[in-house]
Amino acid sequence: MDDLRQWPDPVVPVQSLSDGGLTCIPEKYVKPPSDRPSLEANFDPGLTMPVVDLRGIYDGSVDSRAAMVAIWDACKEWGFFQVINHGVRQDLVEEMKGVWREFFRRPSDEKQGYANSPATYEGYGSRVGVEKGAVLDWGDYYFLHLLPRSIESHDRHWPARPSTLRNVTEEYGGEVFKLCGALLRVLSMGLGLDEEYLRRAFGGDGTAACVRVNLYPKCPQPELTLGLSPHSDPGGLTVLLADDHVEGLQVRKDGAWLTVRPVPGAFIVNVGDQIEVICFQSPTTVFACMTYVIIKQESTKTLGTKLEPRPPMLLRFLRNVADTLFAILNVISNGIYKSVDHRVIASSKDERLSIAFFYNPGGDVAIGPARELLTPQLPPLYPCITFNEYRLYVRKRGPSGKSQMKSLKLY
């Protein structure tokens, strides 16, 4: 579907369904059995997301090295970590949650005045992706561009009430933006690059930021649906302010979905697709990548001939071996920050609010693997495309996990 002016089906805010006191969710929210969440067995006390104290990073004390190493490890093993002492004032954080809760309590007609379109997503919405007849998620959201100033959402997209919402959101955005700058420096250093590398790659002063405030209303049948389908974040870094009282975020770890327990006062940070693309080919993965590329190329050549539509068994076997090797080495490699699938489960007991801040490359900045991390033997695995092109690609298809990124791979 190429017409991004309007949604393919009428959009009904989930909040209005939930407030209407439904006992069964409408068919279009019911996920196929394989995509439904298991609402138990998702805590593993021995496997908790790393929590990093950033105080040392800011004051340059002896703890800073330990914090940096913890961030690098978390980005490789989890693609996610929580941060405490992150430098964003707690009263501002509380105000941010307060103004947005208040917005979602405004009358339905008022909120509908900000209804969004798939062209830019700015405003009040309830769906992601424009595939007609897609199974929907049990959540509403509000999306705004904050930076650079040249693309900040136009006045008409900003809710007029509560009257402090815009100031609070801009101030909060400015603070979290600084936090992301500090984290990006740490990530650059972990790749052996100069500390401004990733910020420059994102377009320097043209680096972009947007915010998505998610409201997951109470759901009468949370076992049949999801608040937000599995996806990796298309941009650079995400800083999530999760609900203090209601859990819901699940992260895919070693093939299983783990529910995140937010630490009070912490942000949850995750690596987006653009960072994975930039640092994908570190020297430590040369062996895995070369094996993978050569065998994949061979089997693709064979696949392409009319005479032999399927690759011979040996090649298929080798390709499977290469895939497995590649996956194993990815996990243990020193040089990869991963963007990882996550999703949100719905709750029958409580409504949940979360605020995702996205730190992204400038829209027309072309992102591809860092040249510094390539070797002559190693062709890039991802094409170089602008962030706007990538975002459009993702939006047209809707949330579908890491398959978005994998489908772009050159080999």
Ligand X SMILES: O=C(O)CCC(=O)C(=O)O
Instruction: Establish if 18 lies at the interface with ligand X (CB under 6 A).
Output: no
Which positions from 200 through 239 interact with ligand X, judged by CB under 6 A? Answer: 212, 214, 228, 233
Question: Which span sits near ligand X by CB under 6 A: 36-44, 97-105, 192-200, 242-250?
Answer: 242-250
Dihedral sign for Cα 330, 331, 335, 341, please: positive
Write down the least CB distance from residue 249 to ligand X, Å.
Answer: 4
Write down the least CB distance from residue 175 to ligand X, Å.
Answer: 19
Write down the least CB distance from residue 138 to ligand X, Å.
Answer: 12
Closer to ligand X by Cβ: residue 248 or 369: 248
Question: Which span sits near ligand X by CB under 6 A: 104-112, 241-249, 292-300, 323-331?
Answer: 241-249
Amino acid of residue 128: V
Instruction: Establish if 253 lies at the interface with ligand X (CB under 6 A).
Output: no
Question: Which span sits near ligand X by CB under 6 A: 64-72, 183-191, 203-211, 240-248?
Answer: 240-248
Write down the least CB distance from residue 195 to ligand X, Å.
Answer: 27
Residue 322 near residue 295 (C-beta atoms within 8 A) = yes
| Rounded Cα–Cα distance for residues 302 and 304 (Å) | 5
| Rounded Cα–Cα distance for residues 296 and 256 (Å) | 27
Closer to ligand X by Cβ: residue 299 or 339: 339
Write down the least CB distance from residue 248 to ligand X, Å.
Answer: 6
Letter string b/e over residues 246-278, b meaning 16 or more CB atoms within 10 A of that residue's CB: bbbbbbbbeeebbbbebeeebbbbbbbbbbbbb
Q: How many residues bind to ligand X according to rule CB under 6 A?
A: 12
Query: Contact with ligand X (CB under 6 A): which of 25, 96, 146, 356?
Result: 356
Of residues 273, 259, 244, the one with CA closest to residue 345: 259
Strands 342-344 and 123-125, by their bridges, are: unpaired
Give CA separation, 94 vs 214, 352, 358, in Å: 16, 15, 19
Query: Contact with ligand X (CB under 6 A): which of 342, 362, 380, 398?
Result: 342
Instruction: Establish if 242 lies at the interface with ligand X (CB under 6 A).
Output: yes
| Rounded Cα–Cα distance for residues 326 and 385 (Å) | 24
Amino acid of residue 280: F
Closer to ligand X by Cβ: residue 225 or 354: 354
Residue 239 near residue 173 (C-beta atoms within 8 A) = no
The pattern of x and - marking residues 137 through 156 that bind ligand X according to CB under 6 A reads --------------------
Query: Contact with ligand X (CB under 6 A): which of 17, 88, 179, 344?
Result: 344
Write down the least CB distance from residue 328 to ligand X, Å.
Answer: 27
Query: Contact with ligand X (CB under 6 A): which of 188, 347, 354, 404?
Result: 354
Q: For the purposes of burial, counting CB atoms within 10 Å of the CB of 171, is it exposed (0-12), middle (13-18) or buried (19 or more)?
A: middle
Instruction: Establish if 15 lies at the interface with ligand X (CB under 6 A).
Output: no
| Rounded Cα–Cα distance for residues 16 and 6 (Å) | 21
Instruction: Establish if 128 lies at the interface with ligand X (CB under 6 A).
Output: no
Q: Torsion-angle region of residue 205: left (phi > 0), alpha (psi -120 to 50) or beta?
A: alpha
Contacts with ligand X, residue ranges (CB under 6 A): 212, 214, 228, 233, 240, 242, 248-249, 342, 344, 354, 356
